[in-house]
Amino acid sequence: MDFRSLRFKLTLWYVLILGVLLISFSGLLYLTLSRSLYRDVDHKLRSLAELIATESTSPLNKFGFGNIDQTLEAAMNLKPVGKFIQVLDESGRIGRKSENLKNVRLPISLQALRNASNGSISYETTHSFGNTPLRIITYPVKENNQVAKIIQVASSLEDVEDALNTLFVILAVTVPSILMIASLGGLFLANKALKPVDRITQTARMITSRNLNQRIQTLKVKDEISRLVDTFNEMISRLDHSFRQIKQFTADASHELKTPLTILKGEVEVTLRKKRMPHEYEQILVSNLEEINRMSKIVEDLLLLSRADIGEIRLNKEDIHLNRFIQGLTEQMKILAQPKNIRIEISNHQEEIHVFGDALRMRELFINLIENGIKYTEEGGSILITLTQEAEPPAHPLTPADKRPVHFAKVIVTDTGIGIAKDDQERIFNRFFRVDKARSREQGGSGLGLSICRWIVEAHQGDITVKSEPGKGSSFIVRLPIPNQEQGMVNY
Ligand SMILES: Nc1ncnc2c1ncn2[C@@H]1O[C@H](COP(=O)(O)OP(=O)(O)OP(=O)(O)O)[C@@H](O)[C@H]1O
Ligand SMILES: [Mg+2]
């Protein structure tokens, strides 16, 4: 048995508490019974003493000089079994006594004698009378306000002590036996309750990154352990999901880099097969550079995302005049849109909007979105950028009474392009996801742009969503919190 185990500790506590309760109960039972038995004896002694006293002082005193037992029987029809009676005169000399005393006398202590002469009653237990302990009452009888006689009545305590001893033996045997049985029962219960914990431990031991599809068998009874099992299974599911994502990501990244490398290798190999003219080499080098550029963009994007994942990228936040910022960016993007004859317009009827953000990252965010608009819109289409402001109740109020709205800058990039099917709308933010791989690759896309956009927006405590209808166009909605003027700081 492992003394550090939970089942041992549980059983120990259970037995300890039960032990304390049983011992207290037994002690109380013993004490109460013993007090009650002794009180009973005292009570009987006093009744008898009082009876003898009344009879002996009555004018019709029937106590002659005969045997006290006969007198009692004759006078009161009383046969006090097991009682020793002795009557003393005021100076302590023995007068009459019961037959069972024969030629011995009941002991009387100095203290009892002194009490009696003062008129008070004493109770004493003595062990000096034969083998059995005796309980003696010393009862003074007054006549004319003077102590005339002292009546002593004694009773053997043998029966009382026998009863108490028997009780003690019963308790001394039953309490340890009950504790023994209870500890076995406790151990059985603790074992039963903790059995699922063993199963959890065994399964957890078996789970590695290779077999994350394993689950612990769920329990029918819904208790704390079953909640633990459910939570554990949920945790494994999340781990499983993350591992799959990582694997998928690694596979996608390698595949993404492999394609341009294969093209590069093929081009170089074909070129080297024979001597070529200088302008042919130049052409091939230009094509090579295209693939190299594509690879270096993928590597750059991957590096950015993985550094973002481990929280290595610090944002250099500053005040950004969003209207002016978007205006400047759009002018640059118009050059890119020209070959496809796509119009880019800004709709901004609002007052000045300022956000607190990293200008470089913001630039990357909106360039990615506008670039996508250009890429996935047919020739002659258009892109509209709308800039508005909106407010909503705080999601995480500082106090329950804090109802001050949170203001957001809302930038919507709408194109009249090919649109995105409903099922793909959430997936386009996943790394390497492209609706049409061949088409995106043709246009130089690797499917990392929107993942970066989402990271940038979330790093600024904002959100990004998409609304789209295939064939009609798409709208990307970016919301960025606006600094709270009252607090002088950003309220996120
Ligand atoms: N405005 C849009 N209209 C239609 N489809 C879009 C639009 N923007 C994105 N998509 C779809 O979402 C996919 C993911 O976009 P994302 O910007 O992440 O990658 P990409 O543009 O293919 O490559 P990258 O941006 O890394 O060069 C795209 O391949 C495309 O299928
Ligand atoms: Mg893109």
Q: If DSSP states are collapsed to H, E and C, what string results for the chain?
A: CCCCCHHHHHHHHHHHHHHHHHHHHHHHHHHHHHHHHHHHHHHHHHHHHHHHHHHHHCCCCCCCCCCHHHHHHHHHCCCCCCEEEEEEECCCCEEEECHHHCCCCCCCCHHHHHHHHCCCCEEEEECCCCCCCEEEEEEEEEECCEEEEEEEEEEECHHHHHHHHHHHHHHHHHHHHHHHHHHHHHHHHHHHHHHHHHHHHHHHHHCCCCCCCCCCCCCCCCCHHHHHHHHHHHHHHHHHHHHHHHHHHHHHHHHHHHHHHHHHHHHHHHHHCCCCCHHHHHHHHHHHHHHHHHHHHHHHHHHHHHHHHCCCCCCCEEEEEHHHHHHHHHHHHHHHHHHHCCEEEEECCCCCCEEEEEHHHHHHHHHHHHHHHHHCCCCCCEEEEEEEEEEECCCCCCCCCCCCCEEEEEEEEEECCCCCCHHHCCHHHCCCCCCCHHHHHHCCCCCCHHHHHHHHHHHCCCEEEEEEECCCEEEEEEEEECCECCCCECCC
Residue 250 Cα to ligand 1 middle (Å): 20
**Residues belonging to the chain:** 492
CB proximity list for 105: less than 8 A, separation 6 or greater = 86, 94, 97
The rounded Å distance from CA 326 to ligand 2 centre is: 18
- Is the domain of 393 the same as that of 294? no
Residue 445 and residue 396 share a domain: yes
Q: Is the CB of 373 under 6 A from ligand 1?
A: yes
Using a 10 angstrom Cβ sphere, with 0-12 exposed, 13-18 middle and 19 or more buried, the burial of residue 441 is: middle
Name the token pair of 199.
């199963």
Paired sense of beta strands 343-347 and 382-392, if any:
parallel
Q: Over 60: is that where the pLDDT of 125 sits?
A: yes
Choose one of 295, 366, 372 to mutate for the ligand 1 pocket test, by most ligand atoms within 8 angstroms of C-beta.
372
When mean pLDDT is compared across 88-97, 425-434, 471-480, the lowest value belongs to: 88-97
193: in domain? no
Residues 93, 56, single domain; the answer is yes
User: Which among 416, 428, 464 is the best mutation to test ligand 1's pocket, defined by most ligand atoms within 8 Å of the CB?
Assistant: 428
Domain boundary residue, one of 286, 307, 328: 307
| pLDDT over 60 (residue 63) | no
Which residue's CA is minimally distant from atom 31 of ligand 1? 435
CB 176 within 8 A of CB 183: no
Do 286 and 393 lie in one domain? The reply is no
* Domain assignment present for 374: yes
Range from 125-134, 136-145, 170-179, 325-334 carrying the lowest mean pLDDT: 125-134
Question: What distance in angstroms lies between residue 374's CA and the mean position of ligand 2's atoms?
Answer: 10
Q: Do residue 36 and residue 136 come from a single domain? A: yes
Residue numbers of the domain that contains 289: 224-307
Give 228 or 386, the one with higher predicted confidence: 386
Q: Does residue 287 sit in the same domain as residue 352?
A: no
Give the CATH number for residue 466.
3.30.565.10
Ligand 1 neighbour 473 (Cβ under 6 A): no
Give domain status of residue 415, yes or no. Answer: yes
Ligand 1 pocket: which of 296, 298, 426, 440 to mutate (most atoms <8 Å of CB)?
Answer: 440
Residue finishing a domain among 140, 161, 182: 161
Q: Is residue 214 part of a domain?
A: no
For the cut 50, the answer to whether the pLDDT of residue 372 exceeds it is yes
465 pLDDT exceeds 80?
yes
- Looking up residue 26, the CATH number of its domain turns out to be 3.30.450.20
Answer yes or no: do 21 and 156 share one domain: yes
> How far is ligand 1, taken at its centre, from the CA of residue 246, in Å?
21
Same domain as 298, residue 250: yes
**Same structural domain, 326 and 471:** yes
Say which CATH number the domain at 230 has: 1.10.287.130
252 Cβ inside 6 Å of ligand 1: no
Within a domain: residue 188?
no
Please indicate, yes or no, whether the overall pTM of this predicted structure exceeds 0.75.
Answer: no
Closest CA to 358 of 317, 325, 409, 313: 317
Structure tokens at 381: 């289409």
Instruction: For the chain, state the CA radius of gyration.
Output: 52
Q: Are residues 266 and 413 in the same domain?
A: no
Q: Are 301 and 450 contained in the same domain?
A: no
> Average pLDDT, stretch 288-303?
91
Listed residue (299, 31, 332, 311) closest to 167, CA to CA = 31
> Which residue is closest in CA terms to ligand 1's atom 17?
449
Tens digit of each residue's pLDDT (9 = 90 or more) over 234-275: 998 999 988 888 888 889 889 889 988 999 999 999 999 999
Q: State yes or no: pLDDT of 485 exceeds 80.
A: no
pLDDT at 168: 96
Asked whether residue 248 is domain-assigned, the answer is yes
User: How far is residue 111's CA from residue 95's CA, in Å, rounded to a whole number?
Assistant: 20
pLDDT in tens, 70-86: 777 766 666 677 788 88
Is residue 367 predicted with pLDDT exceeding 80?
A: yes
Residue 197 domain-assigned (yes or no): no
Q: pLDDT grade, residue 59 (50/70/90)? A: low
Least confident of 34-43, 304-313, 439-448: 439-448
Residues 271/243, Cβ–Cβ less than 8 Å = no
What is the 452 CA–ligand 2 centroid distance (Å)? Answer: 9
332 and 474 housed in the same domain: yes
Q: What pLDDT does residue 486 have? A: 52
447 C-beta closer than 6 A to ligand 1? yes
Ligand 2 is an ion; its neighbours by CB within 5 Å are 372, 449
What proportion of the chain, given as a percentage, has pLDDT over 70?
93
* CA nearest neighbour of 374 among 289, 445, 424: 445
Give the number of the atom of ligand 1 that is nearest the alpha carbon of residue 373: 1
pLDDT higher than 50, residue 57 = yes
Of residues 343, 419, 424, 425, the one with CA closest to residue 385:
343
Q: What is the mean pLDDT of residues 447-475?
A: 95
pLDDT at 487: 47
**178 lies in some domain:** no
Q: Which residue, 145, 161, 177, sits at the end of a domain?
A: 161
Query: What was the pLDDT predicted at 222?
Result: 82
Tell me how many domains the chain contains.
Answer: 3
Give me the pLDDT at residue 477, please. 97
Q: What was the pLDDT predicted at 103?
A: 78
pLDDT at residue 60 tops 60: no
Residue with tokens 């490398």: 261
Angle (deg, nearest 10), helices 359-375 and 322-337: 40
Mean pLDDT for 114-138 is 87
List, in order, residues 6 or more apart from 213 with CB less than 8 Å away.
240
User: Which residue has the least CA distance to atom 28 on ligand 1?
Assistant: 434
Exposure letters 330-354 (e unless 16+ CB within 10 A, then b):
beebbeebeeeebebebebeeeebb
C-alpha of residue 305 to centroid of ligand 1, in Å: 16
390 compared with 64, residue with greater pLDDT: 390
